[in-house]
């Protein structure tokens, strides 16, 4: 059974710092990996999607890497801002054997606070 672990569980840093969030998964047979952001009491906003054949994806100040063989992904946030404060979730999609897609397996998230 796939398990996803995110470290750290919580992080509080001053504005302007660069930071790294870590995600690990136990089964390397994945189709892709997706990073999400969740604001308190809200739904999920997709940040970056990395296909299993890719090594990294970038969007603005965000960069996500994937090392499928070692079961690891990192989300790098450059020049952090108070608006980046949220919970960041990592999720993997398993390779499917049938004709459809399977649901995602999520980590418990990293609760990030950026201090002004």
Partner 1 sequence: SAVISQKPSRDICQRGTSLTIQCQVDSQVTMMFWYRQQPGQSLTLIATANQGSEATYESGFVIDKFPISRPNLTFSTLTVSNMSPEDSSIYLCSVVGQDQKYGYTFGSGTRLTVV
Residues 6+ apart with CB under 8 A from 14: 114, 115
Among 20, 29, 78, 101, binds partner 1 (CB under 8 A): 101
Residue 101 vs 113, nearer CB to partner 1: 101
Dist CA 109 CA 10 (whole Å): 8
Scanning 18-26, 42-50, 66-74, 76-84 for contacts with partner 1 by CB under 8 A, the matching segment is 42-50
Q: Is 36 in the site for partner 1 (CB under 8 A)?
A: yes
Span near partner 1 by CB under 8 A; candidates 18-26, 45-53, 61-69, 72-80: 45-53
């Amino acid at each position: 059974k796939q398990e996803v672990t995110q470290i750290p569980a919580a992080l509080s840093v001053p504005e302007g710092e660069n930071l790294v969030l870590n995600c690990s998964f136990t089964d390397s047979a994945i189709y892709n990996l997706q990073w999400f952001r969740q604001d308190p009491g809200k739904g999920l906003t997709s940040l970056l999607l990395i296909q299993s054949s890719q090594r990294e994806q970038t969007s603005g100040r965000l960069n996500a890497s994937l090392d499928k063989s070692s079961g690891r992904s990192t989300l790098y946030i450059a020049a952090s801002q108070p608006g980046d404060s949220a919970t960041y979730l990592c999720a993997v999609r398993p390779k499917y054997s049938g004709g459809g897609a399977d649901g995602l397996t999520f980590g418990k998230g990293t609760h990030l606070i950026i201090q002004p």
